[in-house]
């Protein structure tokens, strides 16, 4: 993935390919490629901030420094859609999925998982 490093804001597995995000743009790339891809803009001038993680249709990106998270529907990769964007109560680490449930390690605060996140971002939603 050496050729991609100059454009990389965040990268994660995306099926047999890789998802590459750099602030306001994204691309789905072939592993081992050397050409820096043309990044597509996110719809509605939205952007991904932080490290992305994908779970077969849902993509989440969290930024520990910014204390933000965004959840995207990538089930149709040609037309991604922002589902939720929210502020987090504390600095966090990279998100993950466990048994199809979103998990965000919240350092000393514990772990935010599916239900606690659902309660949290319905009251603190900022889209």
Q: How does pLDDT run along the chain (127 residues), one tens digit per residue?
A: 444 445 557 888 999 998 988 867 888 888 777 776 788 888 776 777 778 899 888 888 888 778 888 888 888 888 888 888 888 877 888 888 887 788 888 777 777 776 555 554 444 433 3
pTM of the model: 0.75
Q: How far apart are CA 16 and CA 69, in angstroms?
A: 25
State the CATH architecture for 2-123.
7 Propeller (2.130)
């Amino acid at each position: 993935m050496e050729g991609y490093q100059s454009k990389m804001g965040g990268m994660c597995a995306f099926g047999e390919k890789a998802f590459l995000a750099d602030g306001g743009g994204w691309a789905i790339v072939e592993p081992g490629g050397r050409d820096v891809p043309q990044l597509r803009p996110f719809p509605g001038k939205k952007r991904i901030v932080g490290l992305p993680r994908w779970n077969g249709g849902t993509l989440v990106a969290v930024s520990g420094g910014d204390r933000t998270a965004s959840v995207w529907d990538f089930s149709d990769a040609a037309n991604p859609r922002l589902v939720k964007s929210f502020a987090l109560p504390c600095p966090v680490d990279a998100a993950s999925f466990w048994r199809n449930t979103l998990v965000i390690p919240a350092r000393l605060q514990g772990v935010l998982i599916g239900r606690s996140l659902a309660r949290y971002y319905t009251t603190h939603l900022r889209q």
